[in-house]
Copies of this chain bind each other. A is one copy, B any other.
Amino acid sequence: MVVPPPPRSTIEKLRSRLKETFFPDDPLRQFKGQTLKKKLLLGAQCIFPILNWGPNYSPKLFKSDIVSGLTIASLAIPQGISYAKLANLPPIVGLYSSFVPPLVYAVLGSSRDLAVGPVSIASLVLGSMLMQEVSPNNDPILFLELAFSSTFFAGLFQTSLGFFRLGFIIDFLSKATLIGFMAGAAIIVSLQQLKGLLGITHFTKEMGLVPVLSSVFHNIKEWSWQTILMGFCFLVFLLLARHVTMRKPKLFWVSAGAPLVSVILSTLVVFASKANNHGITVIGKLQEGLNPPSWHMLHFHGSHLGLVMKTGLVTGILSLTEGIAVGRTFAALKDYQVDGNKEMIAIGFMNMVGSSTSCYVTTGSFSRSAVNHNAGAKTAASNIVMSVTVMVTLLFLMPLFQYTPNVVLGAIIVTAVVGLIDIPAAYSIWKIDKFDFVVTLCAFLGVIFISVQQGLAIAVGLSIFKILLQIIRPKTAMLGKLPRTDIYRNLHHYKEAARIPGFLILSIESAVNFANCTYLNERILRWIEEHEAEEDMEKQSSLQFVMLDLSAVSSIDTSGVSLFKDLRKTMEKKGVELVLVNPLGEVLEKLQKADEAGDFMKPDNLYLTVGEAVASLSSTMKGQSSTMYEGT
């Protein structure tokens, strides 16, 4: 009954393997059977998704996009300024980064809801990593150069991932890791805002929970009551606005507009009361004008190259993860497809262009994309509207921010990152999978107590270790027959399943390879010993067949093949026969190739189902045990 799979050459196998690895989405599917002209058009649409929606763009769509575009602009301007400060960059860089990248994304990106610009986590990580080598206060120009260079490498890395179809690398940031990491990062970010919210001037440069809190409480005399009062008022206002929107998503404009309202109100208050002379620090004079070119500021060699590349790698992965996840979430809601690898190229290209036009790392932001979606965005044109609004601000409105107090920026950041702490999700992880929760916890504690990058690294390492552990110690189960059926299932799970005397039926629930063949050998021998010990006690018929159900063994390597050969030899010495059941195509093929003597392929050693094997083999057994089988 068991037949070998149809033969395929090594080249064919390699081709199908490479295709599944790098082109699981079969991106050329739509090109099949089209005319050349159509193919060229499809190709252009593939590279520039704007060609998909641009030609059919209508005034009705534009009406939706202009509303959502203006809404996200009102959020993007204060957030841009705030996040740039979080990255220790001049506030204006945050606005530059909300101007060029959205335009690039509108042309290349395939999501209709992504609102592009600087985000909190990438800003925090960029700032904290660069601070390890360069001080943003003592050497602001170098710091800025390194930030642009990191942005370039982040973009290059993102584009390469997409181009070489290695997008699966971001899958290694599991949901469990991200939830812990983002909660930790939100706390670190909020702690940093204590500087602005309390008006402290001598603040630690470290990021961890302990040094920041100790710095806060060692500088109590620097606390400024005017700042604290103002910060408290605006924080309450912003959190209330956020609460309203969370309760009634239709009132999205409440939380979307609140930051801009806060900025305007606080600026007016400061301007009117001259509070900047009474302990409240303000942003100060900002330069007018559009993004200056910055390609001459990129570092491609020199002593900081290693740092810049590392920072690019980490911020690149983080911002990619956020952008892709946001894109996929809203695509699923509106039932359209977002191609991960294409998005990576779009985001990466946007960052490379950004790095030459005074922008730092940008991506699609969770919070702004949600506002964009709720405000009814229909196409990426909402990003263009936002971009134009930011351009107008850059050209004409910069002097208005001169009196904006830093404290209100802190309040805006805290309100934005509070949403990253997702306690229900963490609870659901705890409920479903304890080990995943350990990963979440390690990411969280690692970020707040050690450092942002190391917390992330620990969590990713743990996640991979968990996968490897499942390979190193695969599960094996003893199967029994369910009464009145021919179905064999795990005896420990299905209590009514019964053993068949003279048979030991084991299922192996993993690929068999070098990392687990020693374990599996020992474990199977232990199953046999335990089985024999129990039989001795129950005075049952002795073991005649050990049956391995290979239905769940998805692949095997040379070490795995040796395992079965060795097991067969050991069994023979004990007078027990080894029977294999339902090896899958690849496994069967390799066993066949390795089996010069033809032992594995003998019809009475190889069956398609356990039931079949038991029925066929028990007829060959000694009369006594055969009758016992009939009795079960």
Contact = CB atoms under 8 A, between A and B. Distances in A.
21 contacts: A5-B493, A6-B492, A21-B473, A24-B522, A25-B522, A168-B473, A174-B513, A174-B515, A174-B557, A176-B557, A432-B590, A433-B561, A433-B590, A435-B557, A467-B468, A468-B468, A487-B608, A509-B554, A510-B511, A551-B551, A551-B552
A460 to B, nearest CB: 10
Interface string A207-219: 0000000000000
B559 A175 contact: yes
A608 B332 CA distance: 31
B176 A433 contact: no
A585 B490 contact: yes
Q: What is the copy number of this chain in the assembly?
A: 2
A609 interface: yes
Given A473-B21, A554-B474, A514 B468 contact: no
Contacts of A38: none
Nearest to A490: B585
A518 interface: yes
A419 B582 CA distance: 39
Contacts of A557: 174, 176, 432-433, 435-436, 466
A628 interface: no
A247 interface: no
Contacts of A175: 514, 558-559, 562
Interface of A: 3, 5-6, 10, 13-14, 20-21, 24-26, 168, 171-172, 174-177, 332, 335, 340, 428-429, 431-436, 463-464, 466-475, 477, 482, 487, 489-490, 492-495, 509-511, 513-519, 522-523, 526, 551-559, 561-562, 566, 569-570, 573, 582, 584-586, 590, 593-594, 608-609
A24 B174 contact: no
B519 A168 contact: yes
Nearest to A585: B493
A454 to B, nearest CB: 20
Contacts of A555: 470, 475
B26 A526 contact: yes
Nearest to A333: B569
A529 B436 CA distance: 33
A515 B467 contact: yes
B554 A174 contact: no
Contacts of A482: 608
Contacts of A526: 24-26
